[in-house]
Amino acid sequence: MNLSKKHVADKPILAVIVTHSHGDHYGGLQGLVSAEDIKSGKVKFITPKGFYEEAVSENVLLGNVMRRRAGYQFGLNLERNSTGQVDVGLGKPFLGGGRSSLLQPNFEIEKTGQTLNIDGLELVFQLTPNSEAPAELTLFAPSKKVFFSAEIASHTYHNVLTPRGAKTRDAKAWAGYLDEAIDLFGAKTEFIVPSHTWPVYGHDKGITFLEKQRDLYKYVHDQTVHLANKGLNKDEIAEEIKLPPELAKEWYNRDFYGTVKHNAKATYQFYLGWWDGNPAEYDKLPQVEAAKKYVEWFGGEETALKKANESYQKGEYRWVAEVLKHIIFANPENTAAKNLQADAFEQIAYQSESGIWRDLYLAGAKELREGVIVPKNPVNRATGFLSALTPEAIFDYLSVTVDGNKAAGKEVALRFIFPELNKNILVYLKNGVLHQSQTRINDKAEFTLTIPKTKFVELLTTPENAKTLLFSDGVSFEGDPFKFKELASVFEPANPYWNIVTP
């Protein structure tokens, strides 16, 4: 903002367009504009339709597991140097520190072709759901001849399935949106501006860029399906597909972020799921149990480690990684095995073209050598997120924090009234499941709490202050407050630092 104020114009922000439901695109919004200005509509906050629900789903319900895995994908704990993190594939590291939050948009783009005039600037939108994000849009500014491609076209092959974990993206639809963008905006386009990476200047270069990005996604999609129909499984398909030179030789089509290999596997999964059809793969033993048996069948840890060393000397790093996993999962105290596994991961990392492959292998190597690094003062992201959520989204979130074993056999019904939102929500635990309803107005509740949402968030994040909060201004209740405690007793916090490379 300071750069733009200095070199472009020092003007107030009238509108913010968030192209898609990923945290690196909306999380820092409150650094630029205030939540009040968005709530009042003073600043237009424009998103594709479905943005808020998808952002909640990706970043709240699954937030914990995705953040831990994102730490690997982006090498967040790595040193930044020639043997550590040099990049995150989509450019230099783009995840800042600090707090992030999610605000509700006050203007949604409903359909492709929709236009909007912001302070005299005409914009045309294209909806591209289930491409790079479940809710995404691109936009075109006819008077400036600029096409903003969000992340559906970039100077890299993007992820059809991001290693941090997400819903698998629809590669066929993705290619289709690029084709549609050429039809809708291509003739008038002189500049293409992708997120994260640099612009493409010139009409002809821009069209070639969009066509070859489109064909990159379509080629890997079509060949994956083609080979699946021939009977290859996802690992075999990943080894088999090679891009034709006319696509492979463009720098912007390279495996810097997504890769042909993992995107082919993703497309297989998108259509066919994780199973390859062989019953031997259908109900495998869990990893620790299997590992113990493998090691026994290998002839013990020492023999297995000796053979792994020989394979390492021959440069068979992928094989070493696979075999050593069994030794480590059978005996996580085996330091020699962990160090050799780390050596193998590092070699794979250094051979990777993809920044995130490098980062995730190096992150694994680091944890094998040093263990899981738990920060001294972990950031509590819950407060920022919960205060931005609707009560319904909060109860959805709470329902996945329920420990099913603890909840079994318990029945509790509570009612929450949020007067400022005009919402009356029955929340009840039954059959091990937490439900919410806004239609069962007359059902009996053992405890009814009337509370502003901000105070409700405080109650959840600082339960030790419950008594003060319950007797504070604007809060009233009926029935037994200990019923709330009873309900809360089935909530289990997530583990932000779970083991990945060890059991």
The strand order across the sheet containing 15-17 reads: 15-17, 44-48, 107-109
CA distance 69 to 356: 11
**Given 15, 24, 104, 179, the residue binding Zn ion (CB under 5 A):** 24
**Stretch in the footprint of Zn ion (CB under 5 A) among 24-32, 40-48, 231-239, 332-340:** 24-32
Report which of 290, 287, 347 is spatially closest to residue 319, judged by C-alpha positions.
Answer: 347
Of 25 and 338, the one with the shorter C-beta distance to Zn ion is: 25
In the bound complex, what is the minimum distance in angstroms from residue 351's beta carbon to Zn ion? 26
In the bound complex, what is the minimum distance in angstroms from residue 22's beta carbon to Zn ion? 5
Of 24 and 37, the one with the shorter C-beta distance to Zn ion is: 24
Listed in sequence order, the residues at least 6 apart from 329 whose beta carbon sits closer than 8 Å to its beta carbon are: 287, 288, 290, 291, 292, 502, 503
Tokens for 406, please give them.
Answer: 């603890």
In the bound complex, what is the minimum distance in angstroms from residue 155's beta carbon to Zn ion? 13
In the bound complex, what is the minimum distance in angstroms from residue 19's beta carbon to Zn ion? 9
Beta bridge partners of 122: 117
Of 24 and 250, the one with the shorter C-beta distance to Zn ion is: 24
Of 54 and 367, the one with the shorter C-beta distance to Zn ion is: 54
CA distance 15 to 118: 7
**Stretch in the footprint of Zn ion (CB under 5 A) among 21-29, 183-191, 325-333, 349-357:** 21-29
**Residue closest to Zn ion when measured from CB atoms:** 24
Of 24 and 108, the one with the shorter C-beta distance to Zn ion is: 24
Query: Exposed, middle or buried by CB within 10 Å (0-12, 13-18, 19+), for 389?
Result: buried
First to last CA, the chain: 45
Task: Report the relative pairing of strands 107-109 and 447-450 from DSSP bridges.
Answer: unpaired
Give residues 377-396 in contact with Zn ion (rule: CB under 5 A): none
DSSP, collapsed to helix, strand or coil, labels residue 44 as: strand
CA distance 193 to 139: 10
Listed in sequence order, the residues at least 6 apart from 242 whose beta carbon sits closer than 8 Å to its beta carbon are: 248, 260
**Stretch in the footprint of Zn ion (CB under 5 A) among 22-30, 172-180, 266-274, 453-461:** 22-30
In the bound complex, what is the minimum distance in angstroms from residue 425's beta carbon to Zn ion? 34
Alpha helical stretches, state H, 299-422: 301-313, 317-330, 335-351, 355-370, 382-388, 391-400, 404-407
Of 257 and 397, the one with the shorter C-beta distance to Zn ion is: 257
Of 24 and 222, the one with the shorter C-beta distance to Zn ion is: 24
Give residues 335-364 in contact with Zn ion (rule: CB under 5 A): none
Q: How many CA atoms lie within 13 A of 147 on its CB side?
A: 28
Listed in sequence order, the residues at least 6 apart from 117 whose beta carbon sits closer than 8 Å to its beta carbon are: 123
Of 105 and 391, the one with the shorter C-beta distance to Zn ion is: 105
Size of the site for Zn ion (CB under 5 A): 1
In the bound complex, what is the minimum distance in angstroms from residue 150's beta carbon to Zn ion? 8
Of 28 and 84, the one with the shorter C-beta distance to Zn ion is: 28
**Stretch in the footprint of Zn ion (CB under 5 A) among 17-25, 29-37, 253-261, 429-437:** 17-25
In the bound complex, what is the minimum distance in angstroms from residue 198's beta carbon to Zn ion? 15
In the bound complex, what is the minimum distance in angstroms from residue 304's beta carbon to Zn ion? 42
Query: Binding to Zn ion by residue 93, rule CB under 5 A?
Result: no
Rg (CA), the chain: 26
In the bound complex, what is the minimum distance in angstroms from residue 117's beta carbon to Zn ion? 27
- Residues binding Zn ion (CB under 5 A): 24
